[in-house]
Amino acid sequence: MDCDDYQRAALRTARDPDAPDEFMHLVLGLVGEAGEIAEKVKKLVRDKNSDLAQLDRDDMAAELGDVLWYTAVLASFLGLSLDDVAQRNVDKLADRQRRAVIGGSGDRR
């Protein structure tokens, strides 16, 4: 499945884009799902001494899927193709790597 195929599939389970406050719903949903990943990692650190062997990869896959769903639907809401978003990101990172600025901070480095 390519990114645009996934985006189309995700949209079949999305709310109407004209729903009240849909932009805020999608942004907060994305942040919330990313927070669930962070919470699982926090508990791994707190309760399991950061032992990655004890990380529940099925749970992580489920949460990553939720992040992907919100990303795909938010991109569509903004009129963006998920394939294009993914390609732009890979191109940006390859350019930073080529210029030896992949580390550091700042969006425009």
CATH topology of domain 3-83: Helix Hairpins (1.10.287)
Sequential DSSP letters for the chain: --HHHHHHHHHTTSPPTTSTTHHHHHHHHHHHHHHHHHHHHHHHHHHHTT-GGGS-HHHHHHHHHHHHHHHHHHHHHTT--HHHHHHHHHHHHHHHHHTT-SSS--TT-
Residue 109 pLDDT: 83
pTM of the entire predicted model = 0.92
pLDDT digits (tens, 9 = 90+) for 19-78: 999 999 999 999 999 999 999 999 999 999 999 999 999 999 999 999 999 999 999 999
User: Phi and psi of 54, rounded to 5°?
Assistant: -95, 0
Question: How many whole angstroms separate alpha carbon 44 and alpha carbon 55?
Answer: 7
92-108 pLDDT, tens digit each: 999 999 999 988 888 88
Q: Give the C-alpha separation, 58 to 51, whole Å.
A: 16
Q: Taking the domains of the chain in order of start, what are their residue ranges?
A: 3-83
Q: For residue 66, what pLDDT is reported? A: 98
